Amino acid sequence: MSLLFAANADDRRGRPENEAMTRRFVVLAILLAATTPGRAADPAELLAGRSKDCRGCALAGAKLKRFDLSQADLAGANLTGAILHRAQLAGANLADANLTGANLNKTDLKHANLAGARLGEAMLYEADLSEADLTRADLAGAMMGSSRLTFAKLDAANLADADLADAQMHGAKLQSADLSRSDLGQATLRRAELARAHLEAASLLRADLRGADLKGADLRNADLMHADLSGADLSGADLKGARLLLARLTDARLDGADLAGAVMPDGTTHE
């Protein structure tokens, strides 16, 4: 009887230890499964239309015209020079992807994630980037005429020397973005957030900037002829040498703005 009681006692003492060991083995198995590399994404599956996910894939020069890649996961993929004309990429994940020189003309990129993507010299004529995330993206020299960037996120993006003529950018977020020497002629930038943006020597001829936030923006030598800046906030903006000939400044805020050498709406030069 005493031996049986002792055996049961030993079993009870050992059970917690066994359960603890079991739990440790389960946790270890989960960790090993999470760190064990799975099968690499196969570009051939995407090119054949059997898959939409190809993270980090080598797809330079790929011919993907009119492909349905909506909601696809192409984060970090190399799509340099790829043909994506009229492709469906709405909601796709292209974060940190390389799309340098890619053809994205008339492509649907609504709500796409392009944060940190490289799009230098890419063609995005009439592309729809409404509400897309292009935070910190490199779009230097990109051809984006007549593109739609309504409520797109472009904070800290590089758009230097980009062609954005006739672009629809209502409510776009462009804080601290580099738009120097870019062509924004006749672009719609109503209520756009351009605080601290770099717009040196940019063309904003006939641009719609009604209600835009341009606080602290650098607009040195920018061409704002015929631009509508009604209700815009230009507090602290640098407008040295800017051309504001025939521009509308109704209810615009110019507190602390530097207008030295600027050509004013009436044709006079500000001292």
What does the domain layout of the chain look like in residue ranges?
A: 1-36
Whole-angstrom distance, CA of residue 114 vs CA of residue 138 = 10
Mean pLDDT along residues 249-269 = 98
- Identify the pLDDT of residue 4: 45
Q: CA–CA separation, 28 vs 258, rounded Å?
A: 63
- pLDDT tens digits, 49-106: 999 999 999 999 999 999 999 999 999 999 999 999 999 999 999 999 999 999 999 9
Q: In this model, does residue 5 exceed pLDDT 50?
A: no
3-state SS, residue 222 = coil
Give the residue among 239, 205, 196 at the shortest CA–CA distance from 220. 239
- Which of 66, 65, 69 lies closest to 97, judged by CA? 69
Q: What is the pTM of this model?
A: 0.84
Predicted confidence (pLDDT) at residue 26 exceeds the cutoff of 90: no
Give the whole-angstrom CA distance, residue 189 versus residue 173.
10
- pLDDT band at residue 36 using 50, 70 and 90 as cut-offs: very low
Distance CA 109, CA 111 (A): 6
